[in-house]
């Protein structure tokens, strides 16, 4: 069943209902992760500054979050700012750091109406104070919401995440709280930033790039990948549905054979 659509025109509602009818409800991905790429190229094609592309990309985040919520997706993780992105020009970084406050301030009424919960993975302490404040406020305000988890990867790097997890486990072993025999895949999962989330079923990357860029390297071990040449600001409902339909047509074997029993 479609959730109640929020402030949509009749045409938009009809389009969403048609798109929903093309999907297999029992095979929807629970967790979709997206590497949002192409904002700068979108702006360059239009002879606009890069920040104009980032602003338009923020509007795409709103559109895709609404669609994911309408479909009943449980978790939407968006790669918003990597640990490597600090290398970009200072003015661009400052603008990117202002986007969470802009986005959350304007989107908060709808987040509450839709029962969407904001989460974040990444190094919070490394963010500017205004960015931390906006994210902390949003997480606090939405902590009791039970709908879509809109999870932002901010100041996030997967290798740093894995190193931090290994150090934490080594400390537990050193303190006698764990033994070496306790350390297995499930244990490592518990020390990752995504410990409370299911692993992504589907990864989408926009703009034609075909790499992971240090994103959720552990968590994506058995995730289905879908790449598109569409730039993130142009990513729309139709493209999103294409990605989900492609996912639904795949046979996820997790190393086994099609039709093979688990015994």
50 annotated ligand binder: yes
253 annotated ligand binder: no
40 annotated ligand binder: yes
The answer to whether 117 and 189 are in contact (CB under 8 A) is no
Specify the residue for token string 């932002």: 152
Q: Examine the residue annotation and report whether 234 is marked as an active-site residue of this protein.
A: no
114 annotated ligand binder: no
Quote the CA–CA distance of 198 and 194 in Å, as a whole number. Answer: 8
Quote the CA–CA distance of 129 and 140 in Å, as a whole number. Answer: 16
Quote the CA–CA distance of 162 and 79 in Å, as a whole number. Answer: 17
HSE (CB half, 13 Å, CA atoms) of 228? 24
Quote the CA–CA distance of 78 and 63 in Å, as a whole number. Answer: 13
From the candidates 37, 69, 70, 201, give the one annotated as an active-site residue. Answer: 37
144 annotated ligand binder: no
83 annotated ligand binder: yes
Quote the CA–CA distance of 41 and 248 in Å, as a whole number. Answer: 30
259 annotated ligand binder: no
196 annotated ligand binder: no
The answer to whether 163 and 218 are in contact (CB under 8 A) is no
- Calculate the dihedral angle through the C-alpha atoms of 138, 144, 150, 155, rounding to the nearest 10 degrees: 50
66 annotated ligand binder: no
88 annotated ligand binder: yes
55 annotated ligand binder: no
54 annotated ligand binder: yes
Q: Examine the residue annotation and report whether 37 is marked as an active-site residue of this protein.
A: yes
Q: Which helix (H) or strand (E) holds 202?
A: strand 202-205
39 annotated ligand binder: yes
172 annotated ligand binder: no
- Provide the sign of the torsion angle of the four alpha carbons 68, 39, 107, 87, taken in this order: positive
From the candidates 25, 69, 70, 85, give the one annotated as an active-site residue. Answer: 85
Q: Around Cβ 147, how many Cβ atoms within 10 Å?
A: 17
Structural tokens at position 116 = 């969407």
**Which residue positions form the known binding site for Mg(2+)?**
37, 224
**Which residue positions form the known binding site for substrate?**
38-42, 50, 54, 82-84, 86, 88, 205, 211-213
**Which residue positions form the known binding site?**
37-42, 50, 54, 82-84, 86, 88, 205, 211-213, 224
Please give the positions annotated as active site. Answer: 37, 85
């Amino acid at each position: 069943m479609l959730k109640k659509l929020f402030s949509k025109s009749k045409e938009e509602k009809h389009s969403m209902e048609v798109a929903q009818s093309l999907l297999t409800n029992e095979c929807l991905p629970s967790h979709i992760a997206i590497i949002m790429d192409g904002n700068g190229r979108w702006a360059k094609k239009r002879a606009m500054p890069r920040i104009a592309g980032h602003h338009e990309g923020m509007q795409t985040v709103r559109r895709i979050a609404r669609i994911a919520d309408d479909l009943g997706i449980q978790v939407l993780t968006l790669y918003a700012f990597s640990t490597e992105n600090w290398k970009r020009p200072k003015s661009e970084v400052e603008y990117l750091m202002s986007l969470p406050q802009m986005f959350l301030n304007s989107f908060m009424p709808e987040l509450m109406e839709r029962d969407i919960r904001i989460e974040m993975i990444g190094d919070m302490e490394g963010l500017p104070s205004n960015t931390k404040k906006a994210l902390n406020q949003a997480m606090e305000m939405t902590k009791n919401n039970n709908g879509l988890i809109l999870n932002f990867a901010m100041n996030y790097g997967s290798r740093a995440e894995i190193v931090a997890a290994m150090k934490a486990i080594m400390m537990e072993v050193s303190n006698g709280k764990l033994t070496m025999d306790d350390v297995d895949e499930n244990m490592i999962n518990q020390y990752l930033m995504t410990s409370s989330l299911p692993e992504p079923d589907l990864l989408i990357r926009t703009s034609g790039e075909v790499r992971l860029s240090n994103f959720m390297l552990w968590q994506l071990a058995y995730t289905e990948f879908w790449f598109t040449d569409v730039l993130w600001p142009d990513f729309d409902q139709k493209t999103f549905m294409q990605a989900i339909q492609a996912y639904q047509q795949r046979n996820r074997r997790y190393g086994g054979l099609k039709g093979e029993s688990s015994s």
